C-alpha cells in the first residue's frame, strides 16, 4: 500500500493554493500525485484530481485507490464507491508506464484546512518482456459457462467426490467453467462443481473476481485428488462440491450440497486454536501479511460473494475458515 497526502484549503482559510502542498508518493512501482485543485468556498465542491502512475517498465497492474478525509468533508467521484468514510475507486488496469486520473469532488461543510489522504494498491496482472507497453485491452476477456455433469465427468466423480446416499443427486449438480487469473498473471480456465441453484450466481462471482485481478492458484474438481480435501488443499486448489462431512463430525458439509467454495486454501487456512494442519499455510496465519491470494474483510472477493448473498468463513467467531464461502453462510 502506498499513501500520499494533500492538504487542501477551503473557504480561503489557511493555505493559499492547494497545489502548493500537493503530495507525491512513490513506492512499489506506483506513484500518486495530487494535481492542482480548483478552489471553492465552503459548501461547494473542489475538484481534486489524483493521478496514479504505474512506473513499472514491464508490468501491468490492476490498481485500486482509496481516498479519505475528515468526517466534515464529503468525498464523491464517478465510478467510486463510498465505504464507511472512505471512497474506493477501482482504477482501470494500468499498462506499464500508464497513468489514470481520478477526479474527486471534495465538499467541506465548513471553513477550515483539511487533509485528503489517497492510498493506492496494485496487483500485477500481466508481465511483459522488457520495454513492452502492451495495452491490457488485449487481455483475455472473461468466459463463464454452466453445463450439466457430462457422462464422462459423472463417471470420474462417482465413488470419488459423489456416491449414492449423498444429499444431492448428480443431476442437480452443474459444471461451471470460468476464466480465472493465475498467480502468473495470466488467464486460465477452471472448473467448479456446484449445485444448479447457485451455478449462475457463481459465474457472476467469478466474473467479478477475475475483473478485480485476484489471483487463484488452480481450479479443478476434487476428483483430481481422489476426493481428498486434505490433498486438494495441499495443492492450493480452489473447489466447490465434495460429498463429505464437516471435518470431525458426521454432519454433511455445505460442500456436500454444492453450495460452498474454498478459495486459495493454502493462503486462506482453516484456523482452529490458532493453528492450521497444513505446513505451507503457517505463514498465512498472520492475516496482516498481505500476500497475493490472501482474503480480507471487504476485499473485492468477499464483496463479490456478498453481492450474491454468500457468507465468508473469515467472519466466523472462534474457528475461522478463511478459504470458505457458502450460500448459507455456514
> Which stretches of the chain bind Zn ion, using CB under 5 A?
260, 262, 324
Quick one: 195 or 324, whose CB is closer to Zn ion? Answer: 324
- Min dist CB 5 to Zn ion, Å, is 41
Quick one: 8 or 260, whose CB is closer to Zn ion? Answer: 260
Provide the phi-psi class of 251: left if phi over 0, else alpha when psi is between -120 and 50, else beta.
beta
Q: 300-307 and 199-211 are packed helices; what angle lies between their axes, rounded to 10 degrees?
A: 150
- Min dist CB 270 to Zn ion, Å, is 8
Residue 76's nearest CA partner among 59, 89, 94 is 89
Sign of the alpha-carbon torsion through 318, 321, 325, 326: negative
Residue 324's nearest CA partner among 255, 228, 242, 252 is 255
Quick one: 181 or 324, whose CB is closer to Zn ion? Answer: 324
- Min dist CB 260 to Zn ion, Å, is 5
Q: Is 209 helix (H, G, I), strand (E, B) or coil?
A: helix
Query: What is the spatial distance between Cα 269 and Cα 284, in angstroms, rounded to a whole number?
Result: 7
What number of other Cβ atoms are within 10 A of residue 163's Cβ?
A: 11
- Min dist CB 324 to Zn ion, Å, is 3
Quick one: 111 or 244, whose CB is closer to Zn ion? Answer: 244
Quick one: 94 or 301, whose CB is closer to Zn ion? Answer: 301
Quick one: 223 or 262, whose CB is closer to Zn ion? Answer: 262
- Min dist CB 262 to Zn ion, Å, is 4
Closest-by-Cβ residue to Zn ion is 324
B/e letters for 184-205, b = 16+ CB within 10 Å, e = fewer, are ebebbebbbbbbbebbebbbeb
Q: Are 330 and 313 spatial neighbours (Cβ–Cβ below 8 Å)?
A: no
- Min dist CB 221 to Zn ion, Å, is 15
- Min dist CB 255 to Zn ion, Å, is 6
Q: Would you call 114 exposed, middle or buried from its count of C-beta atoms within 10 A (0-12, 13-18, 19+)?
A: middle
Quick one: 4 or 301, whose CB is closer to Zn ion? Answer: 301
Residues facing 99 on adjacent strands: 53
Amino acid at each position: 500500500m502506498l499513501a500520499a497526502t494533500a492538504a487542501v484549503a477551503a473557504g480561503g482559510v489557511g493555505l493559499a493554493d492547494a497545489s502548493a502542498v500537493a503530495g507525491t508518493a512513490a513506492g512499489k512501482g506506483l506513484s500518486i500525485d495530487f494535481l492542482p485543485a480548483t478552489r471553492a468556498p465552503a459548501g461547494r465542491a473542489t475538484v481534486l484530481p489524483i493521478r496514479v502512475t504505474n512506473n513499472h517498465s514491464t508490468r501491468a497492474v490492476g490498481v485500486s485507490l482509496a481516498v479519505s478525509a475528515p468526517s466534515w468533508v464529503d468525498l464523491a467521484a464517478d465510478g467510486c464507491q463510498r465505504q464507511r468514510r472512505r471512497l474506493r475507486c477501482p482504477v482501470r488496469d494500468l499498462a506499464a508506464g500508464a497513468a489514470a486520473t481520478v477526479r474527486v469532488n471534495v465538499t467541506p461543510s465548513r471553513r477550515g484546512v483539511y487533509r485528503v489522504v489517497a492510498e493506492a494498491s496494485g496487483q500485477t496482472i500481466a508481465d511483459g518482456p522488457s520495454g513492452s507497453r502492451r495495452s491490457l485491452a488485449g487481455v483475455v476477456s472473461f468466459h463463464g459457462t454452466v453445463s450439466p455433469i457430462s457422462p464422462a465427468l459423472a463417471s470420474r466423480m462417482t465413488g470419488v467426490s459423489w456416491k449414492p446416499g449423498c444429499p444431492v443427486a448428480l443431476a442437480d449438480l452443474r459444471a461451471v467453467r470460468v476464466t480465472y487469473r493465475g498467480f502468473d498473471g495470466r488467464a486460465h480456465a477452471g472448473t467448479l462443481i456446484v449445485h444448479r441453484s447457485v451455478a449462475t450466481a457463481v459465474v457472476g462471482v467469478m466474473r467479478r473476481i477475475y475483473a478485480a485481478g485476484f489471483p487463484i492458484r488452480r481450479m479443478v474438481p476434487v476428483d483430481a485428488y481422489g476426493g481428498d480435501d486434505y490433498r486438494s488443499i495441499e495443492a492450493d486448489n480452489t473447489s466447490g462440491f465434495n460429498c463429505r462431512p464437516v471435518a470431525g463430525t458426521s454432519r454433511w458439509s455445505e460442500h456436500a450440497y454444492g453450495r460452498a467454495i474454498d478459495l486459495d486454501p493454502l493462503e486462506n487456512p482453516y484456523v482452529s486454536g490458532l493453528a492450521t494442519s497444513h505446513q505451507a499455510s503457517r505463514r498465512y496465519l498472520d492475516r496482516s501479511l498481505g500476500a497475493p491470494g490472501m482474503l480480507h474483510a471487504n476485499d473485492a472477493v468477499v464483496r463479490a460473494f456478498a453481492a450474491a448473498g454468500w457468507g465468508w468463513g473469515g467472519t466466523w467467531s472462534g474457528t475461522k475458515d478463511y478459504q470458505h464461502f457458502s450460500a448459507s453462510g455456514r
